[in-house]
Structure 1
């Protein structure tokens, strides 16, 4: 565990994410069911992307349910993506909490290959360049996912 993770208050982080989710869903007229809320809470337990099957196992371990079917988890994840409460990390086929779900924003995901820590970082200038290029090509952008893979400062610092 990195020193950044040790000093990070996950309880406050999760509480804030759930509060934001309540606000976002209320404004959208969407229903944050207990299962969707539980999936969101599990996604926020660390800043490392989690796969659907890992979430399914965690749900089963933390629940009275005997079995949670994959379609149930995927429907909850689809809802959370739709509400912009989580991001899908395509390169890892995993999910990460969105740190700013109340605004329409374009961020990049910095993914550490050593420890798995993933951080959402504003990327306005890069997104503007994508929009300009798309416009010049008469291309309509429907989704922008920018994932940058490398080694975080903590892991690079521990190497030497």
Structure 2
């Protein structure tokens, strides 16, 4: 499967929002574009700093509102362990539950789409009468690239 270009990813996100009756405004698109182009997690103030290069009047509330929207429609993930955000490459999957592999060295994130054991976990939680909200599982460690550059580093 070929990797989508940034414009293709943004167009897919635009279509996703339209199907949900939502609007991907210019500022939301710019924030998403930053996350997609970086390919790793970013903190809100890092996003703001980069956004201000093209939008000097951008302020923290602008970025936080855009991030809240992008989270709500499933276009990005919030990484609680890093207090950061990352674009979601699998936003259009039905019943998507993220399993995020977070590198503690480079802060890169790999998403496992639709892990089979997640449905077992969801069923077990439901059997206990618990209704989970939005959930994502973060597994921290070292990505393969960081393991190669730091072979003695603990995982």
Give the superposed CA RMSD: 1.6
Of structures 1 and 2, the one with the larger relative CO (CA 8 A, separation 6+) is 1
**Residues 40-61 of structure 1, C-alpha deviation per residue, up to 9 Å, x if partnerless?**
1011122211111111111111
1: distance between equivalents of 2:150 and 2:68? 38
Which piece of structure 1 moves more, 80-89 or 102-111? 102-111
Unaligned regions of 5+ residues in structure 1, if any?
1-8
What are the residue-to-residue correspondences of 1:1-160 with 2, within 5 Å? 12-63=4-55, 65=56, 67-104=57-94, 105-160=96-151
Q: Tell me, in whole angstroms, the C-alpha distance in 2 between the residues paired with 1:76 and 1:133.
A: 34
- Native 8 Å contact 2:99 2:115 kept in 1: no
| Cα deviation, residue 124, structure 1 | 2.5
CA distance in 2, matches of 1:102, 1:60: 30
Aligned length: 148
Partner in structure 2 of residue 4 of structure 1: none
TM-score (norm 1): 0.85
Q: What secondary structure, in the 3-state scheme, does the structure 2 residue paired with 1:143 have? A: coil
Residues of 1 paired with 2:63 and 2:140: CA distance?
26
CA positional deviation for 1:107: 2.4
Assess if the C-alpha contact under 8 Å between 1:48 and 1:116 holds in 2: yes
Secondary structure of 1:44's match?
Answer: helix
Cα distance change on mapping 1:13 and 1:97 into 2, 3 Å: farther
The residue number in structure 2 matching 1:5 is none
How far 1:158 moved relative to its partner?
A: 2.1
